[in-house]
Chains A and B, each alone.
Chain A
């Protein structure tokens, strides 16, 4: 069920937009912020609330990299796998992350703590390799630093 507070935030944003369609992406983000991802149920409710066909909403939801249509963990790890990070050791970092978490890129740990997502260039190529956990950027990483960093996210 969409919550009262979500609907209010969505309507406030929509009022600032050119039209309902222009507010669709932000509406998806508002809902995702509280739930982590967009389930089918939520998609249908949101489409009813906005008055747009569910197929149209889904076509947008599935297009954008950072809207998730599958469940994700409490913390989202974006690992930059673009060229400079790759040159600077991204493969090693990703392998070690996968081993530590026991998941392949794209998967979520069984305890629902982390989801590992390969991401396009994070735009910090001068401090490669880089990952982003939730809103925090971690740069110039070596695999040895991973334990300490992951430990900060319960």
Chain B
């Protein structure tokens, strides 16, 4: 069986390893190595060489992201590191698994990341519904402080780090990194203009790195075993393993850590057990609600950022949502747009007004009140809310399943309009 560095120590149902158990399995050895044998630049270089790309959805190279942080004695202080555990993207449930299953792994990854960018304050941002994760983290943080892994002069290295848990009050936009920064400052989670990027001016105007939970959980393994080891875990050019998930009408929905670049077919058929009896695959969203549909013909695509992009979609969070033949694609897309429209932060007009219009138009089509012109209205919005035309990526993300859905399932839209009713109801 392939190696599973991130999840190998997770025993679902047993509760996460406590500190002594985590240490017994080799935990905090990477931190000791980083603090005692490496310097911040060395850690950052190792992460860069590992090919680690951000697991929050955009796939930005982590080493490159860190390299924009001002370093040296005249760098602004304090600097901040934030772990993004908002995970409100529909269909996504991978960070929950890491948070509940092994909180010390995240904390260790964060301390090492903070050391690399010389941050002195770190925040873990978690959505409120993740009660079990919050409890596990609260306990693990107390253990790490008591053991001297957090606080002043960590392991005698002279490096100081404070770490706090921030439990959100709920909003999808808190996951967007500048929205998250506003939320931490106690503001509405609306995005900020970039540039300046958070790495130079983020929380309270100071250099800030925001990374996804899974990204940070990769860091101890890269530092302990090296960039080459991490690259070797992958089947393609992008380093590491990846937590993939499948939900919908499959036999065995779940979340698995597999080599980066495992094919969609293998994930769906071997791990998720294939479709439930009586259901056929009609399409799938490869990485959460804001990715383009793929079809059966794409099953042999490898799940990594580059390959899925080449196939016309995005790997996103790597958690696949399956659309089966007995579920109405218009209803499915309507459900997605209802989510996006409700969670739009209202900051910019095209998204605030446009998503509501899209949602109402889809509801009309689904309920048999649609007209031919409605298709044009939907297509107009796909163009209107394209990347670069709204303040943040929420609206363009919402248009990915809509634009691709209109392309792949156009007949089904037309049938709703000519019937006029939903053929699935």
Contact = CB atoms under 8 A, between A and B. Distances in A.
Given A82-B91, A82-B339, A25 B186 contact: yes
B248 interface: yes
Given A63-B171, A66-B169, A83-B339, A132 B129 contact: yes
B11 to A, nearest CB: 17
B252 to A, nearest CB: 9
A153 B345 CA distance: 34
B185 interface: yes
A87 B186 contact: no
B247 interface: yes
A84 B91 contact: yes
Contacts of B57: none
B194 interface: no
Interface string A15-35: 011111111111011000000
A86 B388 CA distance: 31
Interface in B69-114: 87-93, 95-96
Given A16-B164, A83-B335, A132-B129, A126 B186 contact: no
Contacts of A60: 186-188
B321 A25 contact: no
Contacts, number: 127
Taking residues whose C-beta sits less than 8 angstroms from the other chain, chain B's interface range is: 35 or more
Given A83-B336, A120-B339, A65 B171 contact: yes
A67 B174 CA distance: 14
A25 to B, nearest CB: 5
Interface size class on chain A is 35 or more
A24 B245 CA distance: 36
Contacts of A21: 185-187
B414 interface: no
A67 B183 CA distance: 14
Contact of A66 (B90, B128, B253): B128
Contacts of B183: 25
B255 interface: yes
Given A82-B339, A87-B324, A125-B91, 5 more contacts: A81-B338, A83-B336, A123-B95, A125-B247, A126-B245
